Structures are given as structure tokens and as C-alpha cells.
Structure 1
Amino acid sequence: MLVLLAALLCVVGSYVSIQLFRRTLQAGGGSRFHWCFLASVCAGSSIWGTHFIAMLGYQPGVPVTFDATLTIISVVIAIFGVGIGLFLSTLRNRWFGALCGGGTIGLAIAAMHYVGMFAYRADGIVGWLPNYVALSLACAVVFGALAIDRLRVHDHEGHPWTATLLLVVAIVMLHFVGMAAFTVTPIAGFGSGPQSEVFVAMASAIAMAALLIVGTGISTYLVEMRTRVDAQDRLHHIAMHDTLTGLQNRHAFNGKLRRLCQRLVKGGPPFALLMVDLDRFKPINDSLGHPFGDKVLKAVSARLQEAVRDNDMVARIGGDEFAVIAPGVDDPSVARLLAERIVEVLSRPFVISGQVADLGASVGITLAPADGKDAETLTQQVDIALYHAKNEGRGRHCFFDPSLTETLRERRLLEADLRRACMREEFEVYFQPILDTATREFAGAEALVRWHSPERGVVSPVLFIPVAEELGLVTTIGALVLERACAEAATWPDGMTVAVNVSPVQMMGGRLASTVAQALHKSGLEPGRLEIEITETALVTDDELALRALEEVRALGVKISLDDFGTGYSSLSYLHRFPIDRIKIDASFVNQVPHDPGSASIVRAIAQLGESLQMEVTAEGIETDAQYSYVAEHGCRHMQGFLFSRPVDAATLARLFGTHEKNRSVA
């Protein structure tokens, strides 16, 4: 039973020792000394305990005692010998490290054993068989070296069982072959008799101490392993999740998409891939700051998780871009319902820290395996579908269709051409004259940008301005138009004004006033002859920032016009809060008068509103004499439209202003 107990201690001790050996080999710097100390104490004590517990089971047939000093020396030899061997095991060369380190550990086992045997005092004639002694030394060195070699080879296994088995063999072979070399011949007349109580107590204490030390090693190993596993779990979570929203990140998304596609090849289940992009996040993030933008993204993430099914994966893969993988979905109607729910949920206003964020979202959809089975292909397809959804007006969803690939290619080419156009300054400024109905003369003109591309010809602003806004080029284009418009207006007769449209992106950029001041300074145009035209869209995103920008422009002496008046949902509040000098009636109302009673009432009401607020009123889109007569009759002093002139270049406008008698005569 004692031999079995020693064998159990040997196996358990070797298992723990190999784990601690491995941590020693893996560690670097000062931590290697700590792991080496713990490994040496645990391994030396288990080797020492195995030897002495097994010796309790040995029956020499004579009285036996232990020398306390040599017993203590033997355990010290085991601990220090293993420690030296471990440090030698870390040598760069694998074979040299295994031979020196493992061999030293084997010699330490042998030295502990034979010093321990010298402490074993048997009252008889003691003899040693040299051949067995040599064989035991060889077994300890060879198997110790092999154990270290296997440990280094299988360093990344769950547990290097081969190394553990070899260490057990080294200890067991040394002990039992070494005991075969030990002989005791009783002296005649001396009986064996029972073991002394001191012997039993000392042996029990040795066994107990060894078991406690090995138990401490086991506990340390388990605690360290649990800590390491927890740390790895945390690192894995960090690596696979977005730190801001807690959603899975691009890396996790790519991994899952790749695995699902691999299953598709083997006949796995279908799935739908949806890409979600927030429509108006950038202006909110720029105007209200990144901390507020982070709060918005967290709220968006929460709503997205509520909108999808329980088994759907939601990942944040970019700044304001999210992806949804819906396993088991191959029916377009099911994917459509999911996309519509996402668009609807994200279109509701977000109220965060007392601020209202009105976002909206666009969604691209592709189905696997119907549209493809490759992760890269599916990702490209859903990107194409998303671009199409955004180009169609945002706040909607779009399925991938092969025909959309050509649309995206054209979009990419347009973006490249637009960037080159900005570098080459291919943009021209055209002007549409504005008539003063009181004097029946032209009072000025509105500046309109035109792009004459060498490759494309004339490109409509309706086509390229939204692209320029997305690419961040509209500020450059806007500054160019403003500068050229002011320069041309400076050559017109005194008193004539020029109106220049300003994009919401320009107004929210924080540099509108400085851009206007620079254009005025370079051209020498009087500030009172310049009007900046804005739309209600520019005021929706952040009214405080818009108010600040307009007040800075107004302080320069420049006038402010509100374009497309009547098409928004809060126009009256804008007139009350913002420094507006002129309101322009949208052409959609004017082209229905005087025949449509509703449009006629709106035009009449806006004209009266402008008069009561002491604001100038301009009617756009005048094309017929009937429209002119009705609008003039109801108080609109300024008009522009094809009835007077189409947009013309600067040279034509100069001739028009310089040669037209009274500029315009209307019966």
C-alpha cells in the first residue's frame, strides 16, 4: 500500500511539475525565477516524498533509523538540482538544452536518492551492486533528458502527457533499479523487531510534508491556470467585440461569415447578410462632438439588437456601419421585413442628454447561397446594394442585383472624375438674373455652379453635388463658386446683388464666415451686395451651430436668404429665430398658379408673411406671364425664372446687364 501511495504521489507530482516546468520555459524576465523556484520546490519535494514513502514499504528484516541531517540534505539536493536543470533547459539549442537540463534533473533525482539511502541506517551488513547503480543513473539521465525534449517539442499542447510519463519513468526507474543495487544482510543474533515510534513518526511527517508541498503546487497551478484562462477569455472578448457598443466587431463578423460560407459548400443552411449605414450620423457627430456621437452609436446598437431576431448576429464593422447575419433566411420577403424593421426603428428620433438626433438608416441585402457562396463576394454584393439604397434617397433598403454592379462602377468613376475636377478647377459659375418688379429692371443674379467635364460633358449639379457632399469636396467647390461669383459681381453696376447657395456641409464646417470674408476681400465686393442662400435642411441638423454660423456671416454685413421656403416642416420657427433677410418661394408652388387654388393661397400667404416680417420675398420658377402677373399682384417684388432668362455664363450676363434698356419690360 505504501508503494502504491508513493507511485500515486509520483504521478501527481510529475503531472504538476511538468506544468510548472512548462510555465518556467515559457516565462521571461523576472517571472522565470519565480516559476523556476515553485517548480523546483514542487518537483524536488514530490521526488523526495516518493522516495521516502516507498522506503516505508521496504522490509530489510533489520531495525532501521534515519539520519536527520542527511535526510534534509537530500531534499535540498533535489530542489536545487531540479532548479539548475530547469535553467539549463532554457538554452536556445533544443538538443543541448534537453541534454544539459534534463540530464541535470536526472542526476538530481539520483543524488537525492543515494543521499537519502545514506540517511537510511539499517542495523545489518549493507552492500551495493555497482552495475545496478550505474544503470539507475543512466535511466535517470536518459529519461530526464527525453522528458525535457518532449516538453519543448510539445510546448503548446493542452498538457504534454509524454513528458509527464517520461518524468515518472525517470523517477520510478531510478528508485527501483537503485533499490535493486541495495542489499542488507542481518547480523546473527539481532532480530528485526518492530519499527520504533520515532521512525514511524518521522516517516509519516516526511510523507505529509511532501503531500502538502505537492498539494500547494497543484493549487498554485490551478489558480494560475484559471487566472490565465480568465485573462484569455477577456482578451478574446476584447478582440472579438467593439469596445464602445459591446457588439461583435469586424473580426468576429468576418470569422462568422467565413464559417457560414464554408458550411454552404458542404450543404449548410442559407443565411441573409444585411449591411446597415446611418444616414445623418456624420453631421451630428461633427456638430455635437464625438462624446455625443458615441452615445448615439450605443443607442443605435441597442435598437438594432431589439430589431433583429434572437439568433441573428449584429456587428459594428465601421464608424457608423453595422452588419447583420440572419441564419436560416433564404426567403426575400423575410429579409425584406427584417430590413424594413431596421429602417423603421432607426428612423425614430433619438433623445439623448436633452438633444434630439434624427438619423435614419439605409440597408443593403444579399442572400446566400442564392447570390453567392464566397464571403468576399457576398461582402462586395451587400456593399453594392447599400450604395444603391443610399443613392436612391436613403432611409430605404435594397437587394443586390447583378445590374447594380455597373451602377457602382459608374459611381466610382464619377467620384474619381469629381476629385480630378476639383484639382483642375473644372467648375464654372453661371448666373440667373433676378428681376425687380417695382423698377422692372434686373436687380442682380443667383450664382449657379456648372461642371463641364472633358470626359463627360456637362454634368448636372443634381448628380454631382450629393457625391461632392459625401466625399467632403463640396466645401472646396463652394469656396470656388463664392470667390468667382463675388469677383464677377464686383464688375456689375452698383446696387446689383449676387446670391450664392451654401451647402449644409459648408455651414456646419465652422469656416463659413472666414470663407465669405476672404471672397469679399479678394473681390472688393461690398458685403451688402452679397446674399448667402441656405435651405431648411441646413438648419435641421444642429440649429445652435447653424445660428452661430449665420450670425457670424451677418456680422460681416452679408444678407441671408432662405431658399425653397414652404417645403420644410418648421419654417415659421426658423424665421423667428434666425437672421433671415429674404425668403424665396419654391418653384413647386409658383408653377401651379394661378390655376391651382391651393398653390395660389400658399404664394399669397408667404408674400403677406414676408411683408409683415419686413423681409424681401422672391418667387422662383416664373415661366409665364400669368404667373408673373399673379405673383407681382400679391406683393412679390423680386422674381427669377425662364420667362426673364435662363442661367447664362458671366460674359453673357455682363452684356445683358450692360445693354438691356431698363433690363426687362413687362406689360
Structure 2
Amino acid sequence: MRVLTCLFGEHNLALVALAAILCIIGSFVSVQLFLRTINARGGSRFHWCFLASVCAGASIWATHFIAMLGYQPGVRVTFDATLTIVSAVIAIAGVGTGLMLSSLRNRWLAALCGGGTIGLAISAMHYVGMFAYRADGIVTWLPGYVAASLACAVVFGAVAIDRLRAHDGDRHPWLPTAFLVLAIVMLHFVGMAAFTVAPIAGFGSGPQSEVFVAMASAIAMAALLIVGTGLSTYLVEMRTRTDAQDRLHHIAMHDTLTGLHNRHSFNSELRRKSHRLSKGGPPFALIMIDLDRFKPVNDTLGHPYGDRVLKAVASRLRKAVREHDMVARIGGDEFAVLADGASDPIVVGHLAERIVEVLSRPFVIGGQSAEIGASVGITLTSDGAVDADALIQQVDVALYHAKEEGRGRHSFFDPSLTQKLLERRRLEADLRRACIREEFEVFFQPVLDTQSREFIGAEALVRWRSAERGMVSPAVFIPIAEELGLVNTIGGMVLDRACHEAASWPDHLMVAVNVSPVQMMGGRLATDIAQVLHRTGLAPHRLEIEITETALVADDELALRSLEEVRALGVKISLDDFGTGYSSLSYLHRFPIDRIKIDGSFVNKLPTDAGSASIVRAIAQLGASLNMQVTAEGIETDDQYSFVAEQGCGHMQGFLFNKPIDAKSAAKLFASGSSGRFAA
């Protein structure tokens, strides 16, 4: 066969091997750059097209020229410099044009136009280069081989682009590379078979082999430098893109604040483990963690401080769990742990206890101390099919039970607990609807002067009269309202209604309204009170707001500013449940407090309990020394009344005198009789 005879009989095989190596390396890099060009969008496509066309054109031209140098016609050979350079330009420009056409939307049209253009560019480069090849002999062309070479270049070029467009995956597209190599090699050697040289008598051949070898080596080095530049650019870009993709993946799968896995990552891993378990994989434990008392910290100290606490929580959790356990933040103050291979309740229980213990330690950050704690729910898996969504429901039930049992503890899922969670969810939904429907009522418990037994006013108490549930105790719905963030809504409504009702009472009667820490630390307490007073017409001195000691602990500077703004309106301030919280005497000294209210837990043990009696006596004396009013709550017996009166408590309230009554009854009670005196 003419092609094989030409290849093995008329070529320097060492230079042919060098050309083949360069062709394979160049095609390998060029195909990667082709693929990057086709997939690029916008202006970057032109950048990649330029890089790919220079790299591919240089390697194709160098393959052709080195193989030509390896051709041994038996006569003296020279090269036309201009045509040689033009052939290189044709290769680069033709490949670039073909690459742009390869990006056409229609795959078959892209292969035909783009791949065909690349094949034609290779052919044009080859034959222009052959015209630059000046042999001292009689040159003859065989048209059949010329046509065959053109067909090989166009067909293999089109197939290479088609396979490249069809490529899908991270593997190198070896098939397009092979077809590109075939397009280059077949064009050249079939084209060389079309070229014959007959020596002319009298012209010597001259020794040229050493010169041609040196030229071939130099061209190969130059081409490899160009190809290497293209490869290094590609690798640097791929590395940058991979790093960016890794960062995006990390962002997509991790919580930006704590660095833990996020909900999406957690759900994916939970489903993966559930699927593995159904296929005989190892069991695992799902642990859900809910922070206790975090919302008051967030509301009173601010979200930046709360974020710092969450970071500290994440750090402690990482240290508390095992090294291979997955820790995720799945909500604002909710975390989860997937303990792989954990099926022993004792082992998992110890892990949960460790989590509760480390999160119960105070968080001292930026000079502030936050004590939050955690409740933990657990569900264990066993052999067999398991549904990820069902596991989440189970652990949710267990977590709810842990919180219902008093928080700061862990609980395992039990099917009997499901009904309790359903009731809790219904209660939450009803409470949200109650806020929309304004189902809350304000009741009033009268406050009396201890000596004269005359009414001095009343404390406003919220009640929820549900259309479905009837009257719901504040002890039931207030903690839920705090968790759901509804306290501001309810508190604002109570303040407005209480002031509205009190405005219709005799002018000497006051009304006391409880204010939550969230309301006090929100920065709008004084503004809200001023608006309510203006709207209802109640005189400021007739309003008294009641705060608890916990509101002062979180951020005493913010609390002080808030209370001073309230006091500036002429509104009085009462410290409720005194003696049950932190009871720092510095609060009484620093804050503008007008009244101390002794908690009913001390009063209901009077006068028989010596400890309670000592506490009540000490608080009464403290109030007198600080020129503050002292009110005893929870008076239910005559003996309790007599004791607090003897100790100097100026005011009192309790069931002995009146249970909380609705607004209409309170108005009637205060309007009866000119003195407003409670009959003994």
C-alpha cells in the first residue's frame, strides 16, 4: 500500500516518532481546551478560543513540519519561509474559526461546520506547507490520495467535535482526542503518499539529515512550550474553578455562622444513612438539641451577642460528640447530631448527658455571662427499612417531651409521646390564631392599702379565652408565647387595654402592668407607653409597670436606660417576684424602682415557716429603709394578712380580698362607694 510504503520506506522513523509524540500530547491538551471553549459563556469564550486555537494550531503545524523534515525524497530540499509561516497562521486561524462554529446550538450542525472547518484548516495548512517544500527534482501529485487525505481530515475532525459535544463526565474525553489524532495523522501521511519526487540527473542530494533533525528538535521544543503554556493556563484555571466550586459547595452545605453542617447537608446525610440502613448498613442515632433560654439572651443582649453564643455552642458540641459524628445547625437555636454506629441506649444516653452538661455551663463572652442550657431528644434506629422524615418526627417528639419534663435533660422517643406533641402543635397554632383574632382578655386583681383596706388600684393579668379550648391558664400559654415570639404582641395588647380600662376608674386608682424582658430590651418601651397613655388619656402617674429581676441581669446598662426613659414619663416602676431571682441589692440602688413586690411563694408559708417569715420581714425593712413601697402578693388567710401588716408591708393583694375579675366587674367594684374600701 502506497501510504505504508511512504511511511516506512521514505521517512526518518525517529522524526516520525517525535512528530507522533507531539501530535498525541498536543491533541490531548487541545481537546481539553476545545471542551472549555465550547462550554464557556460570554467574553471568556473568545479567551479560551484564542488559547485553544494557538495551542492546537501550533501542535498541528509542528507535527506536520517535523514529519515533513522526516521525509526523505533522495534530493536536496529547501523551504519557502513565507509559505511556511502562512501555513502556521492558517492552522491557528482555521482551528479558531472551527471552534467558534463548534459552539452552535445544534450538535450535528456544530459537528459538520465546526469539525469540518477544523479538518479543512488542517488540510489547507498541510498543502500550503507542501508548496513551501522545494525539492530539487520532478514533483508529481496523485489526485486520489489528495482527495482521500481531505476526506479523512474533514470526517475525523467532524466526528471529534461530535464526540466532544456528546462528552459528559469528569473523565478526559479520550475518544475525541483519538479522532483528532487520526485527522492530523491521516491527513499528513495520506497527503504525503500523494507526493512523489523523481531526482533530476546532475543534481546532488547533499547531506541534510543532521540539519533537519536539529530543526525538528527545535520546532518540537517550541511547540511543546506553546502546548505547555496552554496546559498550565488550563490547569491554573481548573484549579481556581475547583477551589471556587469547593467553596461554593462548602457554603451550600455548611452554616455560615458556626461552620457546622446546615439543614440541607444534614437532611442529605440522614437520607443517605437511612438508605444504607435499609440495605443492611450500620444503625445510627439521631439526636436533636434545642437551646433553653436562648431567645431571652438574643432579645436582651442583641443578635450579635447571640451569634457569638451560637459559635461557642457549636465549638462545645464538636468537642462533646465523637470524632466521626456529624454535627449540624438546622435552625436558629436548634442543632442535630448523627451518631453513626450508635445503637446502645446506654452509650447514646451518656453522649446526650455530656451534651446537656457542657451546654449548661455559663457562656462568658465579652464581659457578659449567659446561662442557657439545652434539651435533647433522641431516636435510635435498628435493622431494616427506615424513613428519614419519620425519624425527624420521632426525635421531635422526644425533644418536646424533654422540654416538657423541665428542660436541661434528654429523652428517648417512645410512641406514646406522639399524642403530646400533636397537642403541643395544635396549641401553638391556636395561640397564633388567638393573636390574630385578639382572643385575649385583661382581668384585674385589686391591690389594697394594708392599714386602711382601701383600694389603691389593680394589677392587670392576661387571660386567653379560646373559642375551642375555653379559658387557658397563662402558665400554659405564656411560655409558648415566649418561644414563638408572640410576647410583644400580647404584652402590647394588655398594656393598651389595661390603660383604657383604668382611665375610666376613679382618679386616685392606679393600674400595674407586667412588662416582659423582651419588651423592655426592645428599645421602644418608653415610646410605646407614651403612645398608649396619649391614646387612652390615662395620667402617667396612674400607671405602674412591673418588671422581673431576670430582665435586669442580661444587660443592666440597656435596662437602666430603658427604665430611666419610662420614669421620665412619670410612670412608676415595680420590681415583681422579689426574692425568687438573683436578688442583687445593687439593683435596688442603681435602678429607678418605686415598689418591691414580695413573691407569693414566701407569703403562702406565713406565718408558720420561719425561713419565709424572716425573708418577708427583711424585705419589708429593706423597702422602708430605701423609701420604697412594699407589696405582699398571694394573701389568702387572715393570719397572712396580719403578719405582713405587722411587718410594715404597705400594700397587699390576694384571694383573701378578691380573685382576678374581668374589666366590667373591676369598674363596678371601684365605682361602688365613695371610699372604695374593702369590707372586712
Q: 1:583 to 1:118 in 2, by over 3 A?
A: same
1:303 is aligned to: 316
- Aligned partner (choices 569, 587, 604) of residue 591 of structure 1: 604
Deviation of 1:134 (Å)? 0.7
In terms of mean alpha carbon deviation, does 514-523 or 587-596 score higher? Answer: 514-523
- 1:273–1:323 contact (8 Å) kept in structure 2: yes
Could you tell me which residue of structure 2 aligns to residue 531 of structure 1?
A: 544
* Residue 512 of structure 2 corresponds to residue 507 of structure 1: no
Q: Higher mean Cα deviation, 15-24 or 335-344? A: 335-344
The residue type paired with residue 663 of structure 1 is R
Matches of 2:519 and 2:82 in 1, distance apart?
A: 90
What amino acid maps onto 1:642 in structure 2?
F
Instruction: Please list the CA deviations of residues 320-374 of structure 1 after superposition, one character each: whole Å capped at 9, or x if unmatched.
Output: 3222221111122222222222222222222222232333233222222489822
Equivalent residues of 1:283, 1:508 under 8 A apart? no
> Which residue is equivalent to 1:619?
632
Matched, 1:285 2:285: no
Cα distance between partner residues in 2 of 1:370 and 1:404? 22
1:351 and 2:380 matched: no
Instruction: Report the Cα offset of residue 524 of structure 1.
Output: 3.0
> With structure 1 as the length reference, what TM-score do the two structures score?
0.94
Could you say what secondary structure the match of 1:445 adopts?
A: strand
Matched, 1:471 2:478: no
Separation of aligned partners in 2, 1:372 and 1:617 = 64
Note the C-alpha offset of 1:189: 5.3
- Partner SS, residue 661 of structure 2: coil
Q: Deviations over 1:437-483 (max 9, x none)?
A: 21133332222222222211111111111222223332232223223
Contact kept, 8 Å, 2:277 with 2:384, in 1: the verdict is: no
Instruction: For residue 195 of structure 1, report the CA deviation from its aligned partner.
Output: 1.8
Residue type matched to 1:640 in 2?
Q
Paired AA for residue 141 in structure 1 = V
Of 197-206 and 409-418, more deviation after overlay is shown by 197-206
Alpha-carbon separation, structure 2, partners of 1:508 and 1:498: 22
- TM-score of the superposition, structure 2-length normalised? 0.92
Structure 1 position 664 matched with structure 2 position 657: no
Structure 1: stretches of 5+ with no match in the other structure: none
For residues 627-666 of structure 1, the aligned pairs below 5 Å read: 627-659=640-672, 663-666=677-680
Show the counterpart of 2:80. 67
Partners of 1:640 and 1:403 lie apart in 2 by 42
Q: Which moved more, 1:144-153 or 1:443-452?
A: 443-452
State the distance in 1 between where 2:96 and 2:158 align: 14
Look up the SS of the partner of 1:363 in the other structure: strand
2:346 aligned partner, one-letter code:
S
* 2:289 is aligned with 1:276: yes
TM alignment of 1:568-587, pairs within 5 A:
568-587=581-600
Cα separation, 1, equivalents of 2:528 and 2:405: 32
Q: Secondary structure at the match of 2:441?
A: strand
Aligned mates of 1:398, 1:41 — CA distance in 2: 68
Do the aligned residues in 1 keep the contact of 2:167 with 2:173 (CA within 8 Å)? yes
2:561 corresponds to which of 532, 548, 551: 548
Q: Is structure 2 residue 376 aligned with structure 1 residue 363?
A: yes
CA drift of 1:419 comes to 2.6
1:52-451 alignment, distance < 5 Å? 52-154=65-167, 156-188=169-201, 190=203, 192-195=205-208, 198-369=211-382, 373-451=386-464
CA distance in structure 2 between the aligned counterparts of 1:437 and 1:203, rounded to whole angstroms: 115
Q: 1-side partners of 2:34 and 2:439: how far apart? A: 72
Structure 1 position 662, deviation (Å): 7.0
Following the alignment from structure 2 to structure 1, what is the Cα–Cα distance between the partners of residues 532 and 288?
42
| Structure 2 spans left out of the alignment, 5+ residues | 1-13
| Alpha-carbon shift at residue 196 of structure 1 (Å) | 6.4
Runs of 4+ more than 6 Å apart = none
* Partner SS state of residue 431, structure 1: strand
Query: Residue 371 of structure 1 contacts residue 378 of structure 1 at CA under 8 Å; is this kept in 2?
Result: no
Instruction: Report the 3-state secondary structure (helix = DSSP H, G, I; strand = E; otherwise coil) of the residue aligned with 1:539.
Output: helix
Paired residue type of 1:580: I
Label 1:358 to 1:128 Cα distance change in 2 as closer, same or farther (>3 A): same
Note the C-alpha offset of 1:211.
Answer: 2.8
CA distance in 2 between counterparts of 1:371 and 1:403 reads 22
Structure 1 position 132, deviation (Å): 1.1
Q: Alignment partner of 1:430: what SS?
A: strand
The 2-side partners of 1:449 and 1:105 are apart by: 83
Query: Offset at 1:146?
Result: 0.5
Are the counterparts in 2 of residues 372 and 378 from structure 1 also a CA contact under 8 Å? no
Q: Secondary structure at the match of 2:331?
A: coil
* Mapped contact 2:27–2:56 kept (Cα < 8 A): yes
Corresponding position of 1:493? 506
C-alpha root-mean-square deviation of aligned residues, in Å? 2.3
Q: Secondary structure at the match of 1:594?
A: coil
- After TM superposition, give the deviation of residue 171 of structure 1 in Å: 1.0
The answer (yes or no) to whether the contact 2:308–2:365 under 8 Å persists in 1 is yes
Check 1:636–1:289 CA distance in 2 against 1; reply closer, same or farther (3 A cut): closer
Distance 1:140 1:528, change over 3 A: same
* Letter in structure 1 aligned against 2:242: V
Q: Distance in 2 between matches of 1:149 and 1:246?
A: 44
Distance verdict in 2 for CA 1:215–1:491, change over 3 Å = closer
Q: In structure 1, how many angstroms separate the alpha carbons of the residues matched to 2:250 and 2:504? A: 66
Amino acid at match of 1:316: R
Give the CA deviation at 1:583: 1.2
3-state SS, counterpart of residue 281 of structure 2: coil
Letter in 1 for 2:551: A
For 1:133, the aligned partner's letter is V
**Residue 218 of structure 1: how far off its partner (Å):** 2.7
Partner SS for 1:614: coil
Q: Quote how far apart the aligned CAs of 1:28 are.
A: 2.3
> Secondary structure of 1:310's match?
coil
Q: In 2 relative to 1, CA 381–585 (structure 1 residues): closer, same or farther, beyond 3 Å?
A: same
User: Aligned pair in 2 of structure 1 residues 98, 151: CA closer, same or farther (>3 Å)?
Assistant: same
Partners of 2:570 and 2:24 in 1: CA distance: 92
* Alpha-carbon distance between aligned partners in 2 of 1:378 and 1:372, rounded to the nearest angstrom: 11
Does the 8 A contact of 2:284 with 2:343 survive in 1?
A: yes
Distance (whole Å) between structure 2 residues aligned to residue 486 and residue 216 of structure 1 = 81
Counterpart for residue 57 of structure 2: 44
Tell me which amino acid in the other structure corresponds to 1:565. F
Q: Is the 8 A contact 1:426 1:452 kept in 2?
A: yes
Distance 1:451 1:538 in 2: 24
Contact residue 277 and residue 383 of structure 2 kept, 8 A: no
CA contact (8 A) 2:301 2:554 kept: no
Query: CA separation in 2, counterparts of 1:598 and 1:289?
Result: 38
Matches of 2:217 and 2:235, distance apart in 1: 27
Offset at residue 308 of structure 1 (A): 1.6
Q: Name the SS of the counterpart of 2:652 in structure 1.
A: strand
Contact 1:585 1:620 in 2 (8 A): yes
- Describe the superposition over 1:133-161 as per-residue Cα deviations: whole angstroms up to 9, x where unpaired: 11111011000011011111115442111
Query: In structure 1, what is the Cα distance between the partners aligned to 2:278 and 2:383?
Result: 13
> What SS does the aligned partner of 2:580 have?
coil
